[in-house]
Structure 1
Amino acid sequence: MSSVKQVQVTFDCTSPERVGRFWCEVLGYVAPPPPEGFATWDDFNRTLPPEKRDTWFVASDPSGAGPRLYFQRVPEGKVVKNRLHLDVRAGTGLVGEERVAALEAECARLVALGGVRVRLLTADEENESCLVMQDVEGNEFCLD
């Protein structure tokens, strides 16, 4: 039996704070307070050597139920489709037009934050409708 109790989801990106703050808004997550002795993360970052500044960002579920999200700067940009993506549960329990309306409303909120609407996948015999989106750096996710 495994002893793993928690999972952290890590995003490779070019702008960790920008991507992290987008996901904070999407999920209602929060950034931790700055280290002791610093009023803000910007104050802390200014104490680091230039190559170490803005290299990571952390977002956590304030209730403690969801996984921690870690955003790390990598030198290369996104090139191909994600092999793993998040499903943001925006239409749970809804079906048909009511579900699509809920997904479209959440999509509009996220587009205003910098997300990109890709396409609506309509319900079929096996699956309810979902909406494919991208975050501010092009990482795919679904509203479902």
Structure 2
Amino acid sequence: MITVIVALAMLISLSAVGMYYGGDTFGEGQRQAESAAIINQGQQIAGAIEMYAADTQTNTFSDMTALVPAYLTSLPEGWELTGGSSEVPEGFLAFPIPGTSAQKLSTCEEVNKKLGLSSVPACGAVAANFAGCCTTG
């Protein structure tokens, strides 16, 4: 019985030490996974929009629900086609990154790093063909 209690105590203390010293590693892994998911979902939506444009022979696109079910089985949660504001130009595919400002910037930097971009520009300053992560505010 005592060996079980000692083993549990050691397991709990090792878990606490791992969380304390491994927190940065966990955060980095979480950031990389989130950025990979953002890139993957964005590429799927962009591909669906390209197929829609080819099928309908049009260059205009304003409603993401038109992609379901012919081009996507469902829309990834959180994505939207922007209507234009002072921070994000009209017609951009946008996904709000959750977390604090520092977490958002870190995830955005990771997305752009994976896309081969060296910085994170302001959304209001990007070109119409920009493909990457940009910041608002």
Is this a same-fold pair by TM over 0.5?
A: no
* The structure with more radius of gyration: 2
Structure with the higher fraction of residues in strand conformation: 1
Structure with the higher fraction of residues in helix conformation: 2
Select the structure with the greater relative contact order (CA < 8 A; seq sep ≥ 6).
1
Calculate the TM-score normalised by the size of structure 1.
0.30
